[in-house]
């Protein structure tokens, strides 16, 4: 009879990632006072092991090392072992990721860091093979006995380096600020050098979608009007939607492709990627009415609803890459399977999806991907576009039904507040582009979920804790929720979303803002004190919380005519400006904000009975730098004050930099006024 494994201290964790390790022979603790106090009292070094549920190599290291009895015995005897879900505790992850980089090592996950009992790091790395890991454990244990003073000195130096201010580290300061189109062109030019002009995206493998970059370029192009930018964005989005990184059966995107052609995905699906890409494809559709972009949005929203939505309208975090111990098992096909499911349509659909009898990937299996447009393929097959679309729709339904009978990838059912806000933004942008009321309804239901389930005493929580001890929200949670609520207000003109956004903005200014550096800390003044209090400046796959917050202050400052908000936003981007001019790839969301400052916002006020209808029509167009307010009658908001429906007709007021055009009574006339000042695609 197989002996049942005794659980460790992770057994009561809410995080699925921590629970995955709850029956390891390693005596894991979650990050918290119990483990940290034990380390101090026992005078034991700490292993901080950080990962996340959808991380493939995290699972590999668990199977190889953390399930190994001999390795576990060494870890338990010599160390206090702490497991951290980086998505639940990004503050801890930030500190130890920076520590690894300070040591001159490459960061990544799993992240394994050795610290002294006081949490100060002295060594670490990412994935280690079992023999290598065991050797490191024994070597560090010996070094602690024989050379402890040297390790303590190293730990002090690394901690000192981590705690250095961003002003010192990056030379931030008062560089003055004049946002010009020439500077914006320089930022775009620095990015162009990295364009992959054949396959889209950037010249690199693996290839990440990086929606922040393409959103910046779409936004900047509304000012600089550069055909190269337009073409690269459209090429990139077309290639991504054709590649294996896109799920042609069930919709939605994997996190990245391991190759440089978007072909072979690392199969995990993250909520934050899909929310941002839904937003990006919706905006791209506004610029160029590409039906493929519309399909991608509709299919991806269906995926999120079907596989990542809770009964309470919260959105789960991720789907794992693996099922039944194999990466991608849920998503790949043999040609025999395709023939059984597709029947008489098999031959031409196998051609469309580029499958091979021997497989186009591993183990004789195929990743479905396209290499050209549907229109081109239908023409080659002597089919009308509608005939081909009908066949493809039947095929997708059949394949999806078969796939749903397979063993499913693991679900990370954490409901993270900030990631849900990203999805609200994506759904709202999709509503703007396509006018599908279900998108807006779903966004509002999720926003109500955040208000009711992810807040306590006026403050945001990191996640919907479902009975576990709630964690305070971080700056990204606040910034992303403010952005989502502001966008909802600009769509519905329901005051509760504006009120909520303003309340959270004031909370953030009081509890996160650092007046000495004029930027925001990642943690609030009531969060757990770690060995350093960090700021998030660089835009990664999710925009930096400081750049999102600066944009929030920009738009709400313009809307409320609140100069203090505008000044903070301007100061923030001015500090980043020297880096932004040369490293725009890593500061793309800051670049979008700079483009707004380089071309003052369009202020649009609509008053009258048809205010929602008129606003809805304006929202169909990609006008990134706008402040829009609409109401049946005048009210106290600055842009609506003293404004009225002229002669009883719904009236649109278009203003630029506090100078207004003549009021008009049709969207067509308003768009003409806007386009004379602010070029956009109509």
Cβ-based neighbours of 122, under 8 Å, separated by 6 or more:
114, 115, 116, 151, 152, 154, 155, 158
422-479 pLDDT, tens digit each: 999 999 999 999 999 999 999 999 999 999 999 999 999 999 977 667 789 999 999 9
Say what the pLDDT of residue 574 is: 94
**Do 72 and 26 contact (CB within 8 A), yes or no?**
yes
CA-CA distance, 59 to 57, in Å (whole number)?
Answer: 5
- The neighbouring-strand residues paired with 51 are 85
**Do 667 and 617 contact (CB within 8 A), yes or no?**
yes
Q: Residues of CATH 1.50.10.10 domain(s) within the chain? A: 181-329+412-597
Say what the pLDDT of residue 680 is: 63
225: left (phi over 0), alpha (psi -120 to 50) or beta: left
For tokens 């609506």, name the residue.
640
Say what the pLDDT of residue 2 is: 44
For tokens 């699906």, name the residue.
269
pTM of the predicted structure, to 2 decimals: 0.95
The domain defined by 181-329+412-597 carries CATH number 1.50.10.10:
yes
**Do 155 and 116 contact (CB within 8 A), yes or no?**
yes
CA-CA distance, 260 to 201, in Å (whole number)?
Answer: 9
Pick the CATH number of 16-163 from 3.40.30.10, 3.20.20.70, 3.20.20.100, 3.40.50.10320: 3.40.30.10
CA distances from 149 to 47, 116, 146, 626 (A): 19, 11, 9, 59
Q: Which two tokens stand for residue 255?
A: 């996190």
Element (H, E) at 652: strand 651-656
Torsion of CA 310, 315, 319, 324, to 10 degrees: -10
Helix pair 611-619, 667-677: axis angle to 10 deg: 40
For tokens 């002996």, name the residue.
3
Mean pLDDT of the chain: 94
CA-CA distance, 302 to 280, in Å (whole number)?
Answer: 16
**Do 536 and 94 contact (CB within 8 A), yes or no?**
yes
Residue 182: how many other CB atoms lie within 10 Å: 9
Mean pLDDT by 10 residues, the chain (682 residues): 74 92 97 96 97 90 96 97 96 95 91 97 96 96 94 95 88 79 91 95 95 96 91 97 97 96 96 98 96 97 98 96 89 94 90 95 95 90 90 93 94 96 98 98 98 94 80 96 98 96 98 96 94 94 97 96 96 93 94 93 95 96 94 85 90 90 95 82 53
Q: Which two tokens stand for residue 253?
A: 């995107």
CA distances from 391 to 253, 381, 387 (A): 23, 12, 6
Sheet of strand 318-319, all strands in order from the earlier edge strand to the far edge: 269-270, 318-319, 411-412
Q: Residues of CATH 3.40.30.10 domain(s) within the chain? A: 16-163
CA distances from 252 to 131, 278, 430 (A): 38, 9, 14
Say what the pLDDT of residue 351 is: 93
Burial of 535 from C-beta contacts in 10 A (0-12 / 13-18 / 19+): buried
CA-CA distance, 472 to 466, in Å (whole number)?
Answer: 14
Q: Which two tokens stand for residue 77?
A: 């005897």
Say what the pLDDT of residue 1 is: 38
Nearest-CA neighbor of 224 among 184, 277, 271?
184
State the Cα angle at 537 between 680 and 233, rounded to 5°.
30
* Half-sphere exposure (Cβ direction) of 367: Cα atoms closer than 13 Å: 24
């Amino acid at each position: 009879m197989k002996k049942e494994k005794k659980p460790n201290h992770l057994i009561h964790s809410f995080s699925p990632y921590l629970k995955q390790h709850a029956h390891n022979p390693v005596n894991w603790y979650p990050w918290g006072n119990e483990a940290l106090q034990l380390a101090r009292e026992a005078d034991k070094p700490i292993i901080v092991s950080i990962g996340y549920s959808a991380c493939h190599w995290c699972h590999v290291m668990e199977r190889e090392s953390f399930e190994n009895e001999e390795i576990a015995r060494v870890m338990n005897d010599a160390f206090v072992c702490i497991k951290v879900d980086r998505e639940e505790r990004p503050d801890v992850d930030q500190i130890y990721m920076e520590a690894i980089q300070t040591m001159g090592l490459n960061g990544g996950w799993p992240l394994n860091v050795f610290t002294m009992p006081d949490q100060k790091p002295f060594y670490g790395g990412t994935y280690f093979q079992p023999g290598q890991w065991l050797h490191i454990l024994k070597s560090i244990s010996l070094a602690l006995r024989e050379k402890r003073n040297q390790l303590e000195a190293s730990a002090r130096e690394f901690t000192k380096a981590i705690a250095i201010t961003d002003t010192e580290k990056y030379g931030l300061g008062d560089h003055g600020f004049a946002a010009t189109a020439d500077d914006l062109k320089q930022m775009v030019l620095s990015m162009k050098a990295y364009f992959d002009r054949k396959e889209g995206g950037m010249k690199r493998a693996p290839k990440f979608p990086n929606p922040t970059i393409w959103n910046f370029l779409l936004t900047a192009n509304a000012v600089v009007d550069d055909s190269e930018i337009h073409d690269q964005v459209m090429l990139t989005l077309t290639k991504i939607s054709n590649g294996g990184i896109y799920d042609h059966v069930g919709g939605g995107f994997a996190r990245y492709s391991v190759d440089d052609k978007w072909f072979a995905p690392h199969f995990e699906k993250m909520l934050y990627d899909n929310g941002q890409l839904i937003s990006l494809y919706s905006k791209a559709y506004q610029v160029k009415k590409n039906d493929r972009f519309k399909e991608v949005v509709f299919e991806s929203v269906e995926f999120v609803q079907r596989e990542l939505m809770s009964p309470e309208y919260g959105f789960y975090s991720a789907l794992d890459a693996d099922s039944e111990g194999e990466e991608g098992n849920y998503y790949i096909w043999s040609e025999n399977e395709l023939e059984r499911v597709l029947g008489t349509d098999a031959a031409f659909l196998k051609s469309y999806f580029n499958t091979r009898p021997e497989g186009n990937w591993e183990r004789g299996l195929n990743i479905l991907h396209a290499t050209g447009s549907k229109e081109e393929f239908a023409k080659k097959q002597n089919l009308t576009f509608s005939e081909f679309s009908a066949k493809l729709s039947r095929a997708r339904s059949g394949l999806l039904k078969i796939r749903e009978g397979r063993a499913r990838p693991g679900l990370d059912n954490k409901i993270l507040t900030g990631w849900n806000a990203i999805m609200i933004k994506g759904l709202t942008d999709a509503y703007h582009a396509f006018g599908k009321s279900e998108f807006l309804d779903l966004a509002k239901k999720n926003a109500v979920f955040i208000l009711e389930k992810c807040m306590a005493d006026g403050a945001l929580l990191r996640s919907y804790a479902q009975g576990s001890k709630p964690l305070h929200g971080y700056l990204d949670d606040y910034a992303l929720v403010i952005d989502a609520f502001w966008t909802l207000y600009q769509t519905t003109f329901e005051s509760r979303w504006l009120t909520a956004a303003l309340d959270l903005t004031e909370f953030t200014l009081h509890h996160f803002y650092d007046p000495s550096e004029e930027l925001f800390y990642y943690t609030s003044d009531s969060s757990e004190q770690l060995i350093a209090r960090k700021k998030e400046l660089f835009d990664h796959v999710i925009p930096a919380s400081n750049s999102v917050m600066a944009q929030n202050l920009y738009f709400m400052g313009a809307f409320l005519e609140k100069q203090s908000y505008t000044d903070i936003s301007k100061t923030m981007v001015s500090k980043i400006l020297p880096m932004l001019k040369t490293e725009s790839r890593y500061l793309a969301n800051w670049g979008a904000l700079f483009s707004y400052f380089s071309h003052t916002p369009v202020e649009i006020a609509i008053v009258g009975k048809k205010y929602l209808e008129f606003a809805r029509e304006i929202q169909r167009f990609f006008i990134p730098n706008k402040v829009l307010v609409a109401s049946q009658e005048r009210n106290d908001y600055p842009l609506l004050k003293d404004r009225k429906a002229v002669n009883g007709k719904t009236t649109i007021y278009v203003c630029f930099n506090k100078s207004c055009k003549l009021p008009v009574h049709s969207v067509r006339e308003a768009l003409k006024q806007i386009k004379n000042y602010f070029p956009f695609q109509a």
